Structure 1
């Protein structure tokens, strides 16, 4: 039998190799910032088993440069050439559990997003290799020929190369110059500000690698060791931590753990602001997604809840393995992801349950201010669906002062209190609390005013059955008095002495 011929086709093949100059310029525009670009390079260092990573920024030179040096396993020349190839790894390939890479683009795309000249020096087994991409050279030649540098001793950053490890050097920092091409001082100031801004990001993203008595890596900036920023405040004694909640899926296990931060009054101002970051706690509440202990998403609810003042203490750590990159749609920068549907449904229930913890923390403190049994300065009144705050006319200080007034002045005094209540700047207070609630504090109490308050309140409490021995403990429950406790405790002793006399 004669073979039956296959279907006739009209397909032709032509060479469609991309233009080198155009494609490599396109790799500059994946949306990296300086901080995400540096983090991507550090990922490679961690994957290469480095435990020391140095970030060096020489910003004051006529031709400034930035280098990242590690003491990892280094590369032979053939490995270096492959590492400098764009798309050197298939994102669908199986990776080791500690591998923080994704597309095989990070070294090149992250670096070239910030500079036009990328040089990599590496040493392994006593042999040094050096390769370079110079975009100006690629533009002139329009080909994919990688430069191999034999006189590597003359390369910037060579002195940072250890016996085993790699140094990544960025030069021609066109995108970090701030436009100050001909003003060396202003360009240096701008570069320093950019690097300083990236520092917080690196301390946050790699905090799990920097923590503990024997951290997995030591990260330094111009010789200064960087300390971790734990967004969960895990080691603070007042942080509330729920048990680990594992979610077993086809491609691995997702671990979910909820944390409720302490109220800001229980933390130092420096620690509170550091954990809140540049945008504050209102923006930093929410989900913290870690991929192999490396932070991918830092805050935000990803559509699961609204940001609010009452939930700003909520932090949920979500740990995913690198086997789930496709499901989570991890981007090239490893700075964003999307919740898979099955995970979204699970987390939605977790968030709904957990958000109440943070709300209760704030509301419990709020209730102390309006507890009717404690003679508050302000009363909370609920009318229909509205909440009104009014000065408490029956407060001992107000009542005692009113009783000392002539009868014809008492109505005027009450009118003043009512006007204070109706003139409460609700919209302004709301804007301040939403924008920077921790900065809103009560005014300083004058010494004579504080004495009047303590004496009047102590008299009223004792008239209502509070023993002298219980007076300090009772009065310390007032937030206003507690915040001035050193002075208040002395005033209570003075008051009790006058009662004995």
Structure 2
């Protein structure tokens, strides 16, 4: 629906035609102009579900599209006046090009784009920015002359008009002056009045919120290293920095390691082009140093990084997912299986690439082939773990993710309660556990007994593992109650409500369920 709406806004929707004397002619129709109301459109674009790292990645897309060689992501803490900026030395824009770039859906998905363009719908800059800040300012120079435009969402909603401001206020101009260089070309995208930080209780000396702000910068750095790894190492190499630190590329396939198993690559035909698929089985822990093992786990940990990796024009769209393939879910014995899929940009529609460039739906005709390749990779990965490996998940992963910690020191299987889990911490507070927390904890432990991890250790292979809370789909009352307790524990521990929901979305088993955390 959103894609169709954007087509109407950008004027790319088709006009009915009929045949007259053997020729197709447009049929005149009566119509009304039904433009979207600004406040409603802003609310829609602001609620597309961007995390801060994925929103920043959308801005970096634009910098790479204009062949920037240097891209700097700045996070500056100033309490309620904190700001984030992406600065590049790309082509820059004229005043007319800047206005077009700031216009919502000025170019639809059917518009002709250059081979370097990573966009699709023409809303990435606006939707990503509106999801994170109430003020978006872009300043750009193409031939030595700087042009600046600003979206103030309070003004848009108050006036009921898309009033794109020329220039910026004095405080914003002062920030822009700090960020401009003397090259005569490039672009600055600046977010001010950040969502979640403009409350009465946030001040410059709020150490807890400041720590959270810079933790988001660290998460962003890891995310960018994963999404843009090919641009940090390939022929179109660029220097990407977050807070002055060079972003390190993360290769999920450990391509240069001598012990990686590469399964035969395949070119799958799709509408006159080809989808390149190559499966990798990573080395077991015994063949990796501790540093290699920890880095190979990735930003989300071993369990969440297994599966397909979808690339579009070398930009990572989806990292670690089994694409809804029937009977395929995340299990420890498949941790070493990772599959690269390169899709041509012209097949976006067939793959259902969304506005955020963060999810895909495989074309029906390719699903049997992807299933076959995945099953082979999973079987090989399970064999590596069964005969040579050690269980990696729930040992080196996110300490907030799992209720159990499973280890095998000296050939003994040891299962311990994860003391870092928010519900466990809530139950063990010095003031005494609340009955509801203890009840939720017990239910969570019942639902997440690490059967799969134990099975890998004992080299069994059955297909009757229990499904936590009944399996993927809408969450039932029991799952919602446990999730609610975890959410409250995360918030009371210092996370913002948005960050707590974001954490729940990636925490098993809630990553496979739909509830308030996924809305």
> What TM-score, normalized to structure 1?
0.68
CA positional deviation for 1:34: 0.3
1:331 matches 2:354: yes
CA positional deviation for 1:26: 2.4
C-alpha separation in 1, matches of 2:129 and 2:228: 19
1:244 matches 2:262: no
Aligned to 1:277: 298
Aligned to 1:194: 216
- Map 1:84-99 to 2 at 5 A: 84-99=102-117
Question: Alpha carbons of 1:93 and 1:58: their partners in 2 closer, same or farther (altered >3 Å)?
Answer: same
C-alpha separation in 2, matches of 1:349 and 1:131: 51
**Which residue of the other structure, out of 145, 161, 176, is the alignment partner of 2:180?**
161
Aligned to 1:23: 41
C-alpha separation in 1, matches of 2:362 and 2:452: 30
1:204 matches 2:222: no
Q: Is 1:118–1:168's contact at 8 Å kept on the other side of the alignment?
A: yes
C-alpha separation in 1, matches of 2:116 and 2:31: 41
Measured against aligned partners, the alpha-carbon deviations of 1:111-156 in whole angstroms (never above 9, x if no partner) come to 1100000000101011111000001111222211211117889342
**Which residue of the other structure, out of 264, 269, 272, is the alignment partner of 2:285?**
264
C-alpha separation in 2, matches of 1:291 and 1:253: 12
CA positional deviation for 1:61: 4.8
Question: Alpha carbons of 1:151 and 1:356: their partners in 2 closer, same or farther (altered >3 Å)?
Answer: closer
Question: Alpha carbons of 1:353 and 1:151: their partners in 2 closer, same or farther (altered >3 Å)?
Answer: closer
CA positional deviation for 1:325: 0.5
The range that moved more, 284-293 or 240-249, is 240-249
1:70 matches 2:92: no
Q: Is 1:205–1:296's contact at 8 Å kept on the other side of the alignment?
A: yes
CA positional deviation for 1:341: 0.7
RMSD, aligned α-carbons: 3.0
C-alpha separation in 2, matches of 1:204 and 1:361: 25
Q: Is 2:80–2:204's contact at 8 Å kept on the other side of the alignment?
A: no
Q: Secondary structure at the match of 2:388?
A: helix
Q: Is 1:178–1:190's contact at 8 Å kept on the other side of the alignment?
A: no
Q: Is 1:158–1:167's contact at 8 Å kept on the other side of the alignment?
A: no
Measured against aligned partners, the alpha-carbon deviations of 1:390-438 in whole angstroms (never above 9, x if no partner) come to x99xxxxxxxxxxxxxxxxxxxxxxxxxxxxxxxxxx999729749x99
C-alpha separation in 2, matches of 1:134 and 1:428: 47
Question: Alpha carbons of 1:138 and 1:274: their partners in 2 closer, same or farther (altered >3 Å)?
Answer: same
Aligned to 1:431: 450
Aligned to 1:467: none
Question: Alpha carbons of 1:252 and 1:98: their partners in 2 closer, same or farther (altered >3 Å)?
Answer: farther
Q: Secondary structure at the match of 1:254?
A: strand
Question: Alpha carbons of 1:14 and 1:254: their partners in 2 closer, same or farther (altered >3 Å)?
Answer: closer
C-alpha separation in 2, matches of 1:55 and 1:321: 28
C-alpha separation in 2, matches of 1:295 and 1:196: 19
Q: Is 2:75–2:83's contact at 8 Å kept on the other side of the alignment?
A: yes
Aligned to 2:367: 344
CA positional deviation for 1:178: 8.6
Measured against aligned partners, the alpha-carbon deviations of 1:343-389 in whole angstroms (never above 9, x if no partner) come to 1111111122232221221222279xxxxxxxxxxxxxxxxxxxxxx
- Map 1:65-464 to 2 at 5 A: 65-149=83-167, 154-162=173-181, 163=183, 164-175=185-196, 180-182=201-203, 184-185=205-206, 186-211=208-233, 216-304=237-325, 305-365=328-388, 431=450, 434=453
Q: Is 1:77–1:129's contact at 8 Å kept on the other side of the alignment?
A: yes
The range that moved more, 241-250 or 12-21, is 12-21
Question: Alpha carbons of 1:243 and 1:155: their partners in 2 closer, same or farther (altered >3 Å)?
Answer: farther
Ranges in structure 1 where 5+ consecutive residues have no aligned partner: 1-10, 368-390, 393-426, 439-501
Runs of 4+ aligned residues of structure 1 deviating over 3 Å after TM superposition are 11-15, 150-153, 175-184, 427-430, 432-435
Larger Rg: 1
Q: Is 1:177–1:190's contact at 8 Å kept on the other side of the alignment?
A: no
C-alpha separation in 2, matches of 1:290 and 1:180: 42
C-alpha separation in 2, matches of 1:36 and 1:434: 31
Measured against aligned partners, the alpha-carbon deviations of 1:439-477 in whole angstroms (never above 9, x if no partner) come to xxxxxxxxxxxxxxxxxxxxxxxxxxxxxxxxxxxxxxx
Q: Is 2:79–2:204's contact at 8 Å kept on the other side of the alignment?
A: no
Question: Alpha carbons of 1:286 and 1:180: their partners in 2 closer, same or farther (altered >3 Å)?
Answer: farther
C-alpha separation in 1, matches of 2:166 and 2:358: 32
Aligned to 2:66: 48
